[in-house]
Every structure is written in structure tokens, then in C-alpha cells.
């Protein structure tokens, strides 16, 4: 616009013989060329490094991001208007003026972030904007460095009571004598010459009819498999799905509870099955990191999870699933995973109870029929909705399992 206006004004001044008008026209034509020359786009010689404290947050926990800017070039950097880029779930994006930096000079910026919901959030890149002194043009560039911030799932306290193992003797289960006489930090073996008499285990001796002693080796650890239903189509709603967040929180709470109780835990999600990490036992922090990144997949199915779970249940483990009462055929495939004599527990989410038009109306008959598929296959189940808490559902499962053991 300025080029065209300047050319017309200069031509009119020349035709009419007005030198001042001609000068104004030339100035209008030169200004945009000068502005483009001053703000010509070139990669900024600025290095960015971020330090997030703490590196992993819990929901509603405040974290601090410290950003270090350094001029790695040989010339002074210009003045920039900068904006940090990240998901608005972490708060408002900070905007600030990045002053001119001399060669090798550094500057530091701090700001806080907070999220109500779990997730893996990328912090960065930083967008730099620069205008010419006349305000005619501007250029926007990005500093591509990023850092990941993990907001872990919310975990409920499930109590201090220990969880009974399956005790079939395989897949890391407790040996027979430990199953009979408890899960202390010692195991039982026959007496050998030289063993100290103070190590005699009298209950085991009376049971076996021969002298048994405690040995210092720890018994094999119990094994548990946690299965998370990640079918986006099974959960009601789109975008943020409260039922899926309930399921992730339940799995995270169970993982912490079982690992604290001494279980070897395997995490089955669609991502861990695809990348092959489902067969590797996980500690608590890797499990929480995987659950922080968990997403409901529209194209997922329970079949791969059921197949992966069967490789464990054939050896005898404690299987705990959080699934949605959505598809009868898929639930039937999952129900068949349980081996006779093994334990399989399920928190079954009622999708109808999460729909706004049926909220507070109790569990639907269809969800009850779907849950019955698992129950008839020997699963111990509890049907949950938005009014149910994770600790409450877990206590119900424990009570059902305890009554089943007594019978």
C-alpha cells in the first residue's frame, strides 16, 4: 500500500510541478523498503534452556519453569517481544520483552505453571516477534527448544491392608510353604547340618513332620497385572472424558498400592502392548509416567489387551481390570482370559451413568447385563459410576473376594 501510494504521489508531484509532493511520494515509497531491510528475517543467535521444578507435578500442584536465554552469536541481538507456547491447561502463556543481549550474555526468566488434569505437556517453543521503528512490518520466528512436563494422575489412598497373592507357584508366585505359613521376609527349607536351632520354624516343622528352618533369602514376589480399557468409543463424551480419567486414576492408585505391598506389577494399555513394554515389570514412577501419557484411542479394541493378559494368567497372577460395560463381544473375550483357580477382578464403568441425561438415575440394566458376562466367567466385579470413588470400589472388590475365599 505504501509503495503504491508513494509511487502515485511522486508521479502526481512531478506532473504538477510540486517538488515537496514529489519528495513525500518518494519518502512513502522508501519507508517500506527501509522497514523490510531493518527487520529482515534471519535465524536468531539465541540458545534457550529450561529447567522445570519439580519435573513431575501432581494435579493442582504448582511448578516453576526457569528459562535461560543466551546469545551464542558474535553480534548484539535486537529487542524482541517473546511469548512462551504451551497448552492453556497449564495457565496463561507468559509474554515478555527479551532485551538486547550482547555476545555471550545470558538472561533468566521465571514463571509458574499449574494443571488440574494429568497429561504430558510440551513447554515451548518460544515465539519471537520484532517490529520496525515505523510500525510498518513485523517478523515472527521461533526458538524450537522444548521440554516435557508430566502431570501425574491423581492417586487415591487404598488403605494399608495387604492383598492376598494367587499362590499357584509360577510367574513369580509364592512357593507352597510360604503360601502355607505366611509372607514374611524369609522362606522355609529343610534342616541341614550346621543350621542354628534358633532358626527352626516350629509351625512348618509341625506341619511337615520334619525339622524346617528359616532361610535368609526372600521368597519370590507376587505378580499382578493391571489392565486399562482405552477405547475412546466406549467412554461417553468427547474431548475431556471424566469416565476415562476415573479409570486412569484407579489404575494409578492400584499400581501404587500393589507395588507398596510387594507385588511385581505389569501395566497393560494399548501403548504398552504395542511397544512391547507390557511384558516388563514396572516400578511406580515409570507406571505413573505411562499413565500420565495415556490417551483414549478411537480405533482401539480390548482384543490385544486380552491376548496380552492371557500370557500372564496362564501362569497364575492377580489380574485387575478397569473396563467399560460397552461391547458384549469384547467383554466376552476378556472374560475368557481368566484361568480356573486364578483371581480376576474388574471395576466395570457404567457409561450410561456418566451421561448427563441419566446422571443420578442409578446403573442401567444394559451395563448390569454386560457386567454379568465377567461375573459368570468367575470374575469378581463391581459396577461403578460418577458417584463412586476409587477407594470405595476397591473396598467392595476386597469384600467380594474375601467372601469368595471363605466359601
Find the range with the poorest average confidence among 203-217, 242-256, 276-290: 203-217
> Is the link from the previous residue into 125 a cis peptide, with omega within 30 of 0?
yes
Pairing of strands 106-114, 95-98: unpaired
Per-residue pLDDT tens over the stretch 210-220: 887 775 544 45
The contacts of residue 124 (CB under 8 Å, 6+ apart) are 48, 50, 84, 85, 86, 143, 144, 145, 146, 147
CATH of domain 46-151: 2.60.40.10
Q: Compute φ and ψ for 40, nearest 5 degrees.
A: -55, 135
Find the range with the poorest average confidence among 153-167, 183-197, 321-335, 353-367: 183-197
Which range in 3-12, 81-90, 187-196, 211-220 is most confidently predicted, on average pLDDT?
A: 81-90
Per-residue pLDDT tens over the stretch 129-168: 988 777 788 888 899 899 999 999 999 999 877 776 544 4
- Helix ranges (H only) for 209-321 are 242-260, 270-275, 284-292, 302-313
pLDDT above 70: residue 352: yes
For the residues 40-47, what does the mean pLDDT come to?
82
CB-based contact 364:353 (threshold 8 Å)? yes
For the residues 197-209, what does the mean pLDDT come to?
77
Quote the mean pLDDT of the chain: 85
What percentage of the chain reaches a pLDDT higher than 90?
52
* DSSP code for 282: B
- In a 13 Å sphere around the CA of 342, the CA atoms on its Cβ side amount to 28
CA dist., res. 318 & res. 343, Å (int): 5
Supply 140's cell numbers: 515472527
CA dist., res. 154 & res. 250, Å (int): 9
pLDDT for the residue 366 = 92
pLDDT above 60: residue 291: yes
Measured in whole angstroms, the distance separating CA 285 from the mean position of its chain's CA atoms is 11
Beta-strand (E) ranges in 35-167?
46-53, 56-57, 62-71, 80-84, 95-98, 106-114, 119-123, 126-131, 138-143, 147-151
Which region, left, alpha or beta, applies to residue 239 given φ > 0 means left and ψ of -120 to 50 means alpha?
Answer: left
Domain covering 223-406, topology = Rossmann fold (3.40.50)
pLDDT for the residue 36 = 79
pLDDT for the residue 133 = 77
Beta-strand (E) ranges in 115-151?
119-123, 126-131, 138-143, 147-151
pLDDT for the residue 161 = 75
Taking the CB of residue 99, how many other CB atoms lie within 10 A of it?
A: 12
Amino acid at each position: 500500500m505504501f509503495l503504491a501510494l508513494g509511487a502515485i504521489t511522486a508521479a502526481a508531484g512531478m506532473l504538477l510541478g510540486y517538488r515537496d509532493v514529489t519528495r513525500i511520494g518518494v519518502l512513502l515509497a522508501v519507508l517500506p523498503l527501509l522497514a523490510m531491510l531493518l527487520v529482515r528475517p534471519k535465524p536468531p543467535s539465541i540458545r534457550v534452556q529450561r529447567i522445570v521444578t519439580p519435573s513431575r507435578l501432581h494435579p493442582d500442584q504448582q511448578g516453576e519453569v526457569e528459562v535461560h536465554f543466551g546469545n551464542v552469536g558474535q553480534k548484539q541481538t535486537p529487542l524482541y517481544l517473546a511469548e512462551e507456547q504451551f497448552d492453556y491447561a497449564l495457565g496463561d502463556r507468559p509474554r515478555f520483552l527479551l532485551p538486547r543481549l550482547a555476545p555471550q550474555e545470558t538472561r533468566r526468566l521465571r514463571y509458574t505453571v499449574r494443571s488440574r488434569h494429568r497429561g504430558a505437556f510440551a513447554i515451548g517453543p518460544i515465539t519471537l516477534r520484532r517490529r520496525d521503528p515505523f510500525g510498518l512490518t513485523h517478523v515472527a520466528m521461533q526458538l524450537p527448544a522444548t521440554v516435557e512436563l508430566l502431570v501425574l494422575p491423581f492417586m487415591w489412598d487404598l488403605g494399608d491392608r495387604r492383598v492376598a497373592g494367587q499362590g499357584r507357584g509360577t510367574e513369580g508366585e509364592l512357593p507352597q510353604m510360604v503360601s502355607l505359613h505366611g509372607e514374611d521376609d524369609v522362606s522355609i527349607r529343610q534342616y541341614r547340618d550346621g543350621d542354628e536351632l534358633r532358626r527352626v520354624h516350629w509351625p512348618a516343622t509341625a506341619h511337615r513332620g520334619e525339622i524346617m528352618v528359616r532361610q535368609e533369602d526372600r521368597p519370590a514376589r507376587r505378580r499382578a497385572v493391571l489392565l486399562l480399557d482405552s477405547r475412546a468409543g466406549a467412554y461417553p463424551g468427547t474431548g475431556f472424558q471424566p469416565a476415562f480419567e476415573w479409570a486412569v486414576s484407579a489404575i494409578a492408585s492400584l499400581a501404587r498400592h500393589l507395588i507398596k505391598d510387594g507385588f511385581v506389577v505389569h501395566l497393560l494399555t494399548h501403548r504398552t502392548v504395542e511397544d512391547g513394554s507390557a511384558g516388563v515389570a514396572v516400578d511406580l514412577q515409570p507406571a505413573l509416567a505411562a499413565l500420565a501419557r495415556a490417551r483414549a484411542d478411537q480405533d482401539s479394541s480390548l482384543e490385544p489387551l486380552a491376548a496380552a493378559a492371557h500370557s500372564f494368567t496362564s501362569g497364575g497372577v492377580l489380574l485387575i481390570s478397569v473396563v467399560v460395560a460397552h461391547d458384549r463381544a469384547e467383554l466376552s473375550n476378556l472374560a475368557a482370559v481368566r484361568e480356573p483357580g486364578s483371581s480376576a477382578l474388574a471395576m466395570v464403568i457404567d457409561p450410561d451413568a456418566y451421561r448427563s441425561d441419566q446422571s443420578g438415575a442409578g446403573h442401567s440394566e444394559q451395563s448390569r447385563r454386560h457386567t454379568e458376562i465377567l461375573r459368570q466367567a468367575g470374575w469378581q466385579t463391581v459396577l461403578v459410576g460418577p458417584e463412586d470413588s476409587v477407594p470405595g470400589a476397591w473396598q467392595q472388590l476386597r469384600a467380594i473376594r474375601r467372601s469368595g475365599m471363605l466359601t
